[in-house]
Structure 1
Amino acid sequence: MLEQCPGVRNAFSTREGGVSQGIWSTMNLSYTRGDDPEHVTENYRRFAAAAGFRTEDIVSSDQTHTTNVRHVTEKDRGSGITREREFHDTDGLITDTPGVVLATYYADCVPLYFVDPVHRAIGLSHSGWRGTVHRMGAATIEAMRETFGTNPSDLLTAIGPSICQDCYEVSEDVIEQFAAAFPAELHNTLYYRKPNGRYQLNLWEANRRILLESGVPAAQIQMPNLCTCCNPTALFSHRATQGKRGNLAAFLWITATATETK
């Protein structure tokens, strides 16, 4: 669906094509998981070359389970990749600057992509269970509305590769927070209780409902068809590897040619 918007490109990494070894093999894109930094830098170089952008154009987020969203611009290029990031505790990024490549990180959590074709603006957010409870998707849409004038009904959105309900077992304390955050009529859709007293949680549907509540039309929400935990040889999964893993990354950017007639 995002490909329907001229001048906007997106990408999502896999484990393949990099130089990292061991638990990080091979395309680890995290400098914070204990991997050799030189390997991570080479992985970025390879991925950027394949995707069609420069590493110095990337602006990366944190992965701290907040609902903080930052508007990034030309001055932020390279943040977290080729130079020190000047902002922290930020799980969502928005921009209307062509050539600035937004990047957020995953290993089961939910990537949320946003494209506003009317205002030529984009957003990319990381939403784990905490971010979902606190409606990271809605926070990103509100930031785009305040910054760019985005109308949610214009947005093209996508929920990226992440953990599916069949793989995502959680405890009762997590479910209590979802029960408080979502209407009672949705509870049976979002989770179910197992005989062992634990629950299977559907982050995909929870995030879809948040986008719908925010005014995004159902036809403009692309759902994932790939579970990170079901595919641990191709994708990093925290659950599948008991935390012994690297990080995947989502990328979203506006090409320079897209805004020549803006």
Structure 2
Amino acid sequence: MTEPFVSAHDSFYIIKDWHEAVPGLVAGFSTKAGGVSTGDFASLNTGFHVNDRPEDVRANRVKVGRLLGLSAESWIGACQTHGNRIACVTGADSGKGALDYESSFSDTDGFYTEEKGILLTLVFADCVPLYFLSRKHKRVGTAHAGWKGTVLGIGASMVEQWKRDGIKPGEIEAVIGPSICQSCYKVDSRVIDKARQWLDDCYPLPFSPVAGEAGQFYLSLQELNKLILMKAGVPPENIRSTMQCTSCGAEFFSHRRDKGKTGRMLGFIGWKEGVST
């Protein structure tokens, strides 16, 4: 399968075919290059909550907004808590969590909208960014799926909310973005036990035991999220996954590789105003 993320600038990747096929759509994932942050956060840290200088985070966000053609004032951000709460947002929410942390949506790990001129944003450093698109209904969404959000089924929750609004799962496309790969992600049996609720009749399983380490497993959060989306009814041919690992890739921040002291990348999706879709 073709890699969905293509570098558009040193500072970010885009979901290429969505950009090419859907006029005005902006969807992608930032790198850690091209910002003003220093030290452990060098250089394009977009997370306010990691003890970086707030003025540097703001400058980084303003730069990314300028590059994308959607100014940071039009962004919407969240205080992410590894849950499965998803918010439907509109233009009235523009700017919340964009240039400060205090105005962020509280206890929120997913957004969706049908309005143009706003950019849905979440931050990541190994967790899985999920991107959603219904071309027919002109709706976009995104979710933050660490292991907790994944086993809570945040991807399935997004599909269920869209179904309630009349969008069939077969009308939903999903892309699984840059995140920690199975080879880099070791977890204990507690996590695997929680993942098993989604894995009836699934083969191959998205985890494998660590040789010589009882109760330890290598887990693919990307594959687990794909299986969850499929169980929610999204056709497998509508789901694409990246081959980019945030822990392997030096161009990304990684919470696990960097032992918890690191910056955050930005996952983003939205439509520009004034573009016919």
How does the TM-score come out when normalised to structure 1?
Answer: 0.93
Counterpart residue type for residue 209 of structure 2? R
Asked if the contact 1:2/1:156 (under 8 Å) is kept, the reply is no
Q: Does 1:159 align with 2:189?
A: no
Question: Structure 2 counterpart of 1:63, which letter?
Answer: Q
Q: Indicate the residue corresponding to 2:145 in structure 1.
A: 127
2:207 equivalent in structure 1 = 191
Q: Give 1:13-24 correspondences, 5 Å limit.
A: 13-24=30-41
Q: Name segments (4+ residues, structure 1) moved above 4 Å.
A: none
The root-mean-square deviation of aligned C-alpha atoms, in Å, is 1.5
Partner of 1:49: 66
Matched, 1:245 2:262: yes
Number of the residue aligned with 1:141? 159
Query: Which residue number corresponds to residue 61 of structure 1?
Result: 78
Q: Which residue of 2 aligns with 1:230?
A: 248
Equivalent pairs: percent with the same residue? 35
Secondary structure of 2:230's counterpart equals: helix
Q: Which residue of 1 aligns with 2:219?
A: 201
Give the deviation of 1:11 after TM superposition.
2.1
- The partner residue of 1:171 within 178, 188, 202 is 188
Q: Hey, what's the Cα distance between the residues in 1 that align with 2:163 and 2:42?
A: 39
Q: Does the aligned pair in 2 maintain the 1:11–1:51 contact within 8 Å?
A: no
Q: Which has the higher helix share?
A: 1
- Aligned runs of 1:90-129 on 2, under 5 Å? 90-129=108-147
Query: For residues 220 and 5 of structure 1, what CA distance do their matches in structure 2 show?
Result: 15
Distance 1:168 1:86, change over 3 A: closer
* Letter of the 2:56 counterpart: H
Q: Deviations over 1:196-248 (max 9, x none)?
A: 121000111111111111222222211111000001x3101011010010111
Shift of residue 103, structure 1, vs aligned partner:
0.1
CA contact (8 A) 1:2 1:157 kept: no
- Are the counterparts in 1 of residues 186 and 219 from structure 2 also a CA contact under 8 Å? yes
Gaps of 5+ in 1: none
CA offsets 1:98-142 (integer angstroms, 9 cap, x no match): 011000110000000001101101110000111111111110112
